[in-house]
Structure 1
Amino acid sequence: MQSAEFHRHSLLLALRSYSSAVGRMEQTVLLPSLLRDVPADEEPSRDLYGDYLMLKAARSAVESGLARTEDNVSKVPADQALLELEPESLLRFHLSGLFALVSQLTRRSHRLTQKYLDIVGVHN
């Protein structure tokens, strides 16, 4: 039987942290329109409103899954070197990238929430 605790580099823990950060962001940001035209710290980025929408959409995709369509498949270039890796190595490669991406999105969600609180004059 596996322990309910996850290693700090666990993808499941990273996904839970991301989902929690976006949930907190949604509960905090009561007027998302205040984020329009506020520059984000990340490059390239639209504005905080665009980030807000992207972070919500990404969480929705993580939690509900993505339907596999021919369009999604055709947009991803097939790298022959990656396809020749052993399945375990390929899995580790993709998990590493996914973990890094989820961690980055979590940090962006935290920064957006804090920036919104600064805009409305609430200090934690």
Structure 2
Amino acid sequence: MMQMATDSPGQKNSLFNAMNRFIGAVNNMDQTVMVPSLLRDVPVDGDSELSSMKADMDDGDMYGYYQLLKSIRLDIEWGVRRAAAEERSKMQITRMNSSASLASTSSTSSEEEEDDDDEEEDGDLEKQFQFHLTGLQGVLSKLTSQANSLTKRYKQEVGI
């Protein structure tokens, strides 16, 4: 039987908890927004939390933000969408093929340099991980705030 552990102060800032907070905020948003079409053509300019996303969106209405937040939640829950994963896979195969053709024409000295580069990259893996983990936690925190703001704004628009 699986037991739910209580959050210790160290776990408060874990990636797992950040994802759960975001998913919870989007679930709350999804349960609150009963008629998503009411969000169409509602400008975002009045909300400082949501206006930070405006540069990333083509249409700056609340409905677009609603759809984006739900899409991100699905990506977290189910993984990256298949089409995007297939596209990345094709790009990696292309890179591998071009790397293989370059490697066959390179000299032994370049192979030794590549081995040194691989060792340096392995040493940087921890730094890369920390950098991306910090960034992901920051993004999830912002997205959680935006989901909460959208929920609050919807309630204001509907008069709840």
Show the counterpart of 1:77: none
1:55 to 55, 69, 74: 69
C-alpha separation in 1, matches of 2:40 and 2:34: 13
CA displacement, residues 33-92 of structure 1 (integer Å, 9 cap, x when unaligned): 111111223132421000000000000000000142234885xxxxxxxx9461111111
1:1-124, aligned counterparts within 5 Å? Answer: 4=5, 5=7, 7-40=11-44, 41=47, 42=51, 43-44=54-55, 45=57, 46-66=60-80, 67=82, 68-71=85-88, 74=91, 84=121, 86-122=124-160
C-alpha separation in 1, matches of 2:88 and 2:153: 35
SS of equivalent residue, structure 2 residue 76: helix
C-alpha separation in 2, matches of 1:92 and 1:51: 28
Q: Would the alpha carbon gap of residues 103 and 54 (structure 1) be closer, same or farther in structure 2, given more than 3 Å must change?
A: same
Q: Which has the larger radius of gyration?
A: 2
Q: TM-score, normalised by structure 2?
A: 0.64
C-alpha separation in 2, matches of 1:92 and 1:71: 23
Gap regions ≥5 residues in structure 1: 75-82
Amino acid at match of 2:131: F
Q: Would the alpha carbon gap of residues 26 and 95 (structure 1) be closer, same or farther in structure 2, given more than 3 Å must change?
A: same
4+ long deviations beyond 4 Å: 71-74
C-alpha separation in 2, matches of 1:106 and 1:73: 32
CA displacement, residues 72-116 of structure 1 (integer Å, 9 cap, x when unaligned): 885xxxxxxxx9461111111111111111111101100000000
SS of equivalent residue, structure 2 residue 135: helix
Identity %: 39
Gap regions ≥5 residues in structure 2: 92-119
Q: What's the Cα RMSD here?
A: 2.1
SS of equivalent residue, structure 1 residue 86: helix
Q: Would the alpha carbon gap of residues 62 and 108 (structure 1) be closer, same or farther in structure 2, given more than 3 Å must change?
A: same
C-alpha separation in 1, matches of 2:90 and 2:76: 17
Q: TM-score, normalised by structure 1?
A: 0.81
